[in-house]
Amino acid sequence: MVGITFIAADGGETHIEATSGLSLMENAVANGVDAIEAICGGNAYCGTCRVHVEPKWRPVLGGATEIEEPMIEASGDTDPGVRLSCQIVVRTELDGLVVRTPESQS
């Protein structure tokens, strides 16, 4: 299991033990992270699974992919660490990952 912490816009923290091989979004939904709605089911079409990756984790995850960019742009989210959690595959190297959820998903 991979430990991941989600920090909500109000500062509340939710720590989950995520399963490698599944997306960050799938793990968040399975573990009841309220701010991750994932309306489109992980198809990168809705932007309701956005997370803001903490600066120290950005080099590990890399930037948004070509699949993510149109939805992120449409959302108006300008945070430099914004990613769609449906496009992040959990792997052991992400143990300790910290992400924030945007206020618009509260």
- What does the pLDDT look like over 5-22, one tens digit per residue? 999 999 999 999 999 999
Q: How high is the pLDDT of residue 7?
A: 97
24-49 pLDDT tens trace:
999 999 999 999 999 999 999 999 99
Superfamily of domain 2-105: Beta-grasp domain (3.10.20.30)
Q: How would you list the strands of the sheet with 82-84, edge to edge?
A: 13-18, 2-7, 97-100, 50-53, 82-84
Q: How high is the pLDDT of residue 87?
A: 97
Give the separation between CA 58 and CA 22, rounded to whole angstroms.
19
Instruction: State both tokens at 40.
Output: 């489109």
Q: Considering only the C-alpha atoms of the chain, give the largest distance between any 2 of them, rounded to a whole number of Å.
A: 33
What's the predicted TM-score (pTM) here?
A: 0.95
Percent of the chain residues past pLDDT 70, beyond the cut = 100
